[in-house]
Chains A and B, each alone.
Chain A
């Protein structure tokens, strides 16, 4: 199992579209995927779950992966966060 922190960098935060990007990306991997924020945990393969995090710009999230492809999964998800989900404004 790996756990690593990421920061929400895009200005709009994790709204509907970034949430669906996260879920689509995570669903490509076998590993279980959970996101923790402020003591709250959600299934990272649930778009509604990700939306209910209501994570704003600057929020710190703990990504937790467990499974055979956990490292690949983390890299893929971390890249999305780093890229700000393609949002520039």
Chain B
């Protein structure tokens, strides 16, 4: 994408937009590196006062954590809150509170220094571990140490951050995002993280514009620099000139207006001018997000990612019961629309905290390959999904399928699981549709064969693109070659829809491409019948659908399939959108979020 008009090329930084919106303001560099606390010797008579100072800091830290736990529980679920509950437990731990008091008293030093010394001692013991993972967990002790020290020096930290700033950091936690949002921060940008990480989900839940995967951003921006955070295109513009600033202020106003207008589209059907209906569905990852289905007018859940169940440091929600409770709520909220549960998709870039490190994880043990090897994970999940299927339309989606044998092997497990449920007298839908992700090129190429054995296809464009083009878009040296609208990618999508049509099965698309407004008409033209995306994007997608004819989509698709110049085609689509879909092109180009 071009530089959007800024005169200094180098000052535009690119990342992945994970929560839409436009924020303009001074940068605040949020460093998690420990403040080194100075040692102050206290007069013996003020030691009592220092105890009280310490107690007040602990109390404030407790208040903070209670808030964080409440918001985390509401937005991300109970499981995600447990790490903060553990932190709460640490504040008055035998190994912290009395030890710090004793250190203050025995050495006549300030509380901050005492906290730092006591916690460093504990940390060192963990850092001596042979296990890399346990060494990393020493960070949890560092977190709590810094939290207390921050509260001991409360005044300074708060005044620095409570202005209307844009926070720039190497990485943030969901807790940071909650506290920033409460202090009126306008947006945040981090070097690490992906669209489905905790921080991103929290930013979306709190409507805080956010960018992640901003390589090196903390070295490119200085405290107090004026920055424009474009949470639609995924750009950060540092120290813009007056003209750029003015343009973005206009853009910000128009964006807010468009959001308002989009609300009016929610009750309307996603239908083309020539009466062709497209099903718009939601990508969800948490039960807590189900309110968004009606808020943004989703007709169902096109993709329920179950990896979030595994968020807490390698703990899977193992029990069938815990999974069932979540799945049932989602199915009921989505009904009469369908809910599509994707079987646990671990590996690749998805957190698999304890897995052995692989040299090439994207070509390794991931998705269905893991699940067929680990029936102790697969069977409880299947049972939970099947039981939920008694409460409303439910579909099962297999990730990372590359061969027909995997589908057949899965079906054997499914049949056996169904038989067990029947024997136990437990209700389920015996005709639950089983579909597969089309993300490995082999599936698209042999789509005819797969279509004969599955009930639906769901195209995952992010992985499909990187596998077809052999491009890791996280690699700066080749990222420019990553193009989800490459004719070869579109050709594979076309082969998939053709095969589906012949077999009479449905094709949905649940990758980032669905949120790229330039792609929407083309995808309709290629015969995709369901688009599934983060709910917040659905009204804009609907706006494009309602402004076009299916026949126009087909004509555009024919051009896209032979487009030999990506830039030219993009310009053409921009003109088309500008003419047809009143303003959408200006705002929603290639938002990086599925």
Contacts and interface: CB of A to CB of B under 8 A. Distances in A.
B133 to A, nearest CB: 6
B140 A51 contact: yes
Contacts of B140: 15-16, 51
A79 B238 CA distance: 55
Residue from the set B135, B314, B346 with the largest chain A CB neighbour count within 10 Å: B314
Nearest to B88: A20
Residue from the set A20, A23, A45, A55 with the largest chain B CB neighbour count within 10 Å: A20
Interface stretch (B103-111, B347-355, B523-531, B575-583): B347-355
Interface string A14-49: 111101100110000000000000000011011111
B353 A12 contact: yes
B313 A20 contact: no
Contact of A89 (B93, B96, B122, B355): B355
B565 interface: no
A13 B133 contact: yes
Given A16-B137, A88-B316, A46 B128 contact: no
A16 B135 CA distance: 11
B86 A47 contact: yes
B95 A48 contact: yes
Contacts of B354: 11-12, 87, 89
B1 interface: no
Contact of A16 (B95, B313, B346): B313
Interface in A65-81: none
B137 A15 contact: yes
A17 B141 contact: no
B314 A16 contact: no
Contacts of A87: 314-316, 318, 354
A49 to B, nearest CB: 5
B495 to A, nearest CB: 35
B377 interface: yes
B294 interface: no
Contacts of B571: none
Contacts of B353: 12, 89
B311 to A, nearest CB: 11
A13 B352 CA distance: 15
Interface string B364-391: 0000000000101100000000000000
B274 interface: no
Given A15-B134, A54-B131, A88-B316, A48 B93 contact: yes
A17 B94 CA distance: 18
Contacts of A23: 89
A88 B346 CA distance: 13
Contacts of B83: 16-17
A87 B312 CA distance: 10
Interface in B307-325: 310, 312-316, 318-319
A85 B318 CA distance: 10
Residue from the set A49, A52, A57 with the largest chain B CB neighbour count within 10 Å: A52
A56 interface: yes
Contacts of A55: 134
Given A12-B354, A15-B137, A43-B94, A85 B82 contact: no
A63 to B, nearest CB: 17
Interface in B528-567: none
B129 interface: yes
Contact of A17 (B135, B312, B318): B312
Given A15-B137, A16-B140, A48-B96, A89 B125 contact: no
A53 to B, nearest CB: 8
Given A52-B126, A88-B377, A17 B93 contact: no
A66 B195 CA distance: 49
B423 interface: no
Contact of A54 (B89, B134, B313, B346): B134
B85 interface: yes
Nearest to B380: A88
B89 A47 contact: yes
A46 B94 contact: yes
A49 B376 CA distance: 32
Contacts of A52: 95, 122, 125-126
Given A13-B133, A46-B93, A47-B93, 16 more contacts: A11-B354, A12-B134, A16-B140, A17-B315, A24-B89, A45-B94, A47-B89, A49-B94, A54-B125, A56-B130, A56-B131, A57-B131, A86-B316, A89-B314, A89-B346, A89-B377
Interface of A: 11-17, 19-20, 23-24, 42-43, 45-49, 51-52, 54-57, 85-89
15 contacts: A12-B354, A13-B131, A13-B134, A16-B140, A17-B312, A24-B89, A46-B94, A46-B95, A47-B90, A48-B96, A52-B122, A87-B315, A89-B352, A89-B354, A89-B374
The 10 closest A-B pairs by CB, nearest first: A54-B129, A20-B86, A48-B95, A52-B125, A46-B94, A15-B137, A11-B354, A56-B131, A46-B95, A16-B140
